[in-house]
Chain A
Amino acid sequence: MLSVLSYGRLVARAVLGGLSQTDSRDYSLVTASCGFGKDFRKGILKKGMCYGDDACFIARHKSADVLGVADGVGGWRDYGVDPSQFSGTLMRTCERLVKEGRFVPSHPVGILTTGYYELLQNKVPLLGSSTACIVVLDRQSHRLHTANLGDSGFLVVRGGEVVHRSDEQQHYFNTPFQLSIAPPEAEGAVLSDSPEAADSSSFDVQLGDIILTATDGLFDNMPDYMILQELKKLKNTNYESIQQTARSIAEQAHVLAYDPNYMSPFAQFACDNGLNVRGGKPDDITVLLSIVAEYTD
């Protein structure tokens, strides 16, 4: 029965493919990550892919490649809570969900929602909050499905131009949407958005498209044109060159973040909001750089 179905699907796909001239090959993402924690411990990757308070994951399942970044909100340090614990656990949980196939590629908000509710199932009383961005590539349909909550985000670059990007979600200046678990005494006082509030989008990708997923540490310090300039240096789709480019982007953002005279996108945005700010924005930086390539087993 199953085989009949799968043959049927193959035939249907062949016919459809013949009609619409689309690519019947499966795509996948070749992804490299790089990042810097704010406190100068260069590129130190804590267990479970954490850069400072940022966390990320790269996971694959049989039908999809999934990436995610999360930026733990630093304010929790004042409560004696390590902000990376929340973002790190969130990302690790999402990674497990993907690896165990407990997700629908076309519904990345579902990954975020389930991941968040799993955090509440932990015996450890987790505290903290985090922004999150999930990017899913459906291998067969070549569609990129994304969910974004807060000010992390992604860019899709094709032929040197940004063809698709995430929308930033902010309550007010420098206060992004965030998933959070607050202590009972602070309930209501802490910003907490439902994972369902995440902004989701779908986009058809082509072979060779570059997808850059990063936390606000990158986007606050590097304007698009600089990112595109770096991406131009990327010539082929092997992992090493992607890794190199990811590193040089992260490094550059890291340098700019500590440049007091540099007019960063963040500083510009602050000026627009009536704040006189100059220089970069020292922050944790996480960069996931992916290229859409043909799927090879």
Chain B
Amino acid sequence: MFPMLTLLSMFYYICLRRRSRSGTRSEVLNSRRAMESSQRSLPLSVEVEQYAKEVLDFSSHYGSENSMSYTMWNLAGMPNVFPSSGDFTQTAVFRMYGAWWEQCASTPLPFRRTAHSFHSQDYIELAFEEPVYPTALEVLETYHPGAIVQILACSLNPFSQNPPADVRWEVLWAGEPSKAVTPQARQFSPSIKQINFATNLIRLEVNSSLLEYYTELDAVILRGVKQRPVLSLYKMPLIDICDLSDSEEEREAAEALAGKSSTGNGYFDKLPYECYSSHLPSKPLSHDSSLIQLIASHLTLPDLCRLAQSCKLLQQHCYDPLQYIQLSLQPYWARLTDTSLGYLQNRCTLIQRLSLSWTGNRGAVTATGFCSFVKACGMGLVCLELACCHFLTEGCMEVIAQTCPALQELNLSSCDRLHPQAFAHIAQLTSLRRLILYRTKIEQTALLSILTFCTKLQHLNLGSCVMIEDYDVVASMLGARCRSLRSLDLWRCKNLTERGLTELVTGCRLLEELDLGWCSTLQSSSGCFLQLARRLPRLRKLFLTANRTVCDSDIEELAAHCPALQHLDILGTRMVSAASLRKLLRSCSKLLLLDVSFCSQIDARMVQELSALFPAVSIKKSFTQPGRPAKLSNRGRRTLAREQRERGD
């Protein structure tokens, strides 16, 4: 009976496949005919060239939320800087570069079985006026080019009221992370794949890990034709076997087929299989089966799904919940839907670490779908990554708070559409160790209640949280309640003063990483940085970016009290001299990164000199090209430096 059924359904499947293929084949023939006819006539359509009209979504940026300096919104419209090179406010800059951030303790471990081809760290989505069949795409990179690793196009028109039945993302170009030879501007024009739909929604994904400094993007030009180009059809895209949704339905059929019989697998049946989900992980496994499991544990998720289709035994191995202890669906953001989450649900009953970052946008995953998954699988969750998940609602947060009592890590980075009230539920997750709230709309009351109850917090990111009214209150609460805090990111918090900082460093003596970049209300003259240096002997990373008041005595105090210092950023201060930097470099032998960009007393020659003396340290000195107003500032700086030298002599 069963072999019969197997045979029948296989036949049915083959027929289905054949039909779909023959359908496309006739299309190809048609298109070939069309092309032949078009070759006789004049070209049908003209190429349209357009700059991005609007920035729809992005994962991070350097600038302030309410500013136009170094923010992602600068990527819309005409170029502002190109063809000049340099570090300019008018460009789009991501929050990170290099490997500095990966070295930090606050960075979570990478997920196992992440595809080697997935490099993306950040993304930006751009809408263009007119949907076109892309013929070329150019990115004007004006500073430290080479970060772009993937360019995708979407079938959805963001300006249209009626969305298409299926939202498809097609990769136009993909490459490895790279680094240009010089930081000079370049026009990046990869040869892109032709696609069979018109698009006006483009997504760039970047990886800045190899770069020497922040990459800066000025504009994106999309070229394309409005009418379907015949040539593009001629190059029929191959049927994508990696397509998760495709394999899904097959797997469904396989599931239906599997039944309970154990025949039909040939020699594979001789391999042992135990149902591990009933075992405790500590119980020793039999050798052969553990070998299969071990092999399977190295596969990427699509490979695992494909392997499951090969035979029933392997299917059992591949569906074993132990294979899904940790699962990152981030690389498959474009294909993940409620349905695919539903399929995974049965396999993920033992899941501990889950990343849904970037997934589910534009309705692919709904709040309901997510909630039912979390309700089914969330019990054991320890780590939940939800960066840029715009499907999240207050209800989702409530479900997380209720079903994941063991949750230790929660990442809500750039969930900027999540309602402020939703964050109040986080306070119920009392075992939280790591909480990322970068670029969210969390409000003070919610945050204070989180800090009251989640006293085990070790890593907290409050970067660019614009809705918090008084950071001093937050900082003193941290000092009072979260004594085990090891890393704290207060990037661009608008009103932290010495009062809050003092209470913070008095309470949280274990702090290793402190990001106070662009906290311009901190005044060095109050002695707050001196105190910070004295109270935090374990300090490894300190960012005082663009605090214009940082001075020599602060640097000397760091040199004297923070021997573990690895990363220091003092960009944009006029008050730090080469002498104190020398002292710092001498005493902090573990130093790896020192950003002295736009420090007017430290010129390029000095940086060269120091780099030669301390080759282990990467000393950064960003520049704005001559010919721009910055040239004047250079001159000004030089005069000032000369004056000081004269005064010193």
Using CB atoms and an 8 Å cutoff, list the residues of chain A in contact with chain B: 47-48, 79-82, 84-85, 88-89, 92, 96-97, 100, 102, 117-118, 120-127, 183-185
Contacts and interface: CB of A to CB of B under 8 A. Distances in A.
Nearest to A121: B69
B67 interface: yes
A117 B69 CA distance: 10
Nearest to B62: A123
A100 B68 contact: yes
Contacts of A85: 629, 632-633, 636
A97 B549 contact: no
Contacts of A79: 640
B89 A123 contact: yes
Interface stretch (B22-30, B147-155, B171-179, B572-580): B572-580
Contacts of B77: 100
Nearest to A82: B632
15 contacts: A80-B638, A80-B639, A82-B633, A82-B635, A82-B636, A85-B632, A96-B90, A100-B68, A117-B67, A118-B68, A118-B89, A124-B624, A127-B574, A183-B548, A184-B524
Contacts of B630: 124
A122 B548 contact: no
A183 B572 CA distance: 12
Interface residues of B, number: 43
Given A80-B643, A89-B629, A184-B523, A125 B67 contact: no
A202 B546 CA distance: 38
A123 B93 CA distance: 12
Contacts of A102: 68
Contact of B70 (A100, A121, A125, A184): A121
A266 to B, nearest CB: 28
B133 interface: no
Contacts of B520: 120
A96 B598 contact: no
B87 interface: yes
Contacts of A100: 68, 77
B549 A184 contact: yes
B479 interface: no
Nearest to B547: A184
Given A80-B642, A125-B572, A125-B574, 12 more contacts: A47-B627, A47-B629, A79-B640, A80-B636, A80-B638, A82-B633, A84-B632, A92-B629, A120-B520, A121-B67, A124-B624, A183-B575
B571 interface: yes
A120 B546 CA distance: 9
Nearest to B597: A123
Contacts, number: 82
A88 to B, nearest CB: 6
Contacts of A121: 63-64, 67, 69-70, 89
Which of A48, A80, A84, A85 has most B Cβ within 10 Å?
A80
A130 B542 CA distance: 34
Nearest to A102: B68
A105 B575 CA distance: 40
Interface in B368-420: none
Nearest to A185: B575
A184 B636 contact: no
Interface string B192-212: 000000000000000000000
A4 B636 CA distance: 56
A100 B622 CA distance: 27
Contacts of B643: 80
Top 10 nearest A-B pairs by Cβ distance?
A80-B639, A121-B69, A80-B640, A184-B549, A82-B632, A125-B572, A81-B636, A121-B67, A85-B632, A80-B636
A117 B68 CA distance: 10
B293 interface: no
Given A122-B89, A184-B525, A184-B575, A97 B68 contact: yes
Nearest to A126: B633
B323 interface: no
Interface of B: 63-64, 67-70, 77, 80, 87, 89-90, 520, 523-525, 546, 548-549, 551, 571-575, 597-598, 600, 622, 624, 627-630, 632-633, 635-640, 642-643
Contact of B572 (A47, A123, A185): A123
Contacts of A118: 67-69, 89
A185 to B, nearest CB: 7
Q: Which of A47, A81, A118 has most B Cβ within 10 Å? A: A81
Contacts of A84: 632
Contacts of A183: 548, 574-575
B634 to A, nearest CB: 10
Nearest to B635: A82
A73 to B, nearest CB: 14
A121 B642 CA distance: 27
Contacts of B571: 123
B134 to A, nearest CB: 26
Most chain A beta carbons < 10 A, residue from B627, B629, B639 = B629
Given A118-B69, A118-B89, A125 B600 contact: yes
A102 B624 CA distance: 25
B168 to A, nearest CB: 29
B77 to A, nearest CB: 7
B316 to A, nearest CB: 56
Contacts of B64: 121
A123 B624 CA distance: 10
B548 A184 contact: yes
A3 B107 CA distance: 50
Contacts of A127: 574, 636
A195 B394 CA distance: 39
B493 to A, nearest CB: 14
Contacts of B549: 184
A41 B407 CA distance: 69
B548 A123 contact: no
Nearest to B622: A123
B143 to A, nearest CB: 12
Contacts of A117: 67
Nearest to B640: A80
A48 to B, nearest CB: 7
Contacts of A47: 627-629
Given A118-B68, A123-B87, A88 B548 contact: no
Nearest to B573: A125
A294 B360 CA distance: 51
Contacts of B548: 125, 183-184
Max chain B Cβ within 10 angstroms of own Cβ: one of A117, A118, A124: A124
Given A79-B640, A82-B636, A124-B624, A48 B629 contact: yes
Nearest to A50: B629
Contacts of B635: 82
B598 A125 contact: yes
A27 B551 CA distance: 53
B87 to A, nearest CB: 6
Nearest to A76: B636
Contacts of A92: 629
A183 B549 CA distance: 8
Contact of B598 (A97, A123, A185): A123
Contacts of B523: 184
A97 B90 CA distance: 11
A117 B628 CA distance: 21
A153 B507 CA distance: 53
B575 A122 contact: no
A5 to B, nearest CB: 16
A185 B90 CA distance: 29
A49 B632 CA distance: 15
Contacts of A89: 629
A48 B627 CA distance: 11
Nearest to B525: A184
A97 B575 CA distance: 31
A88 B629 contact: yes
A124 B598 contact: yes
Contacts of B639: 80
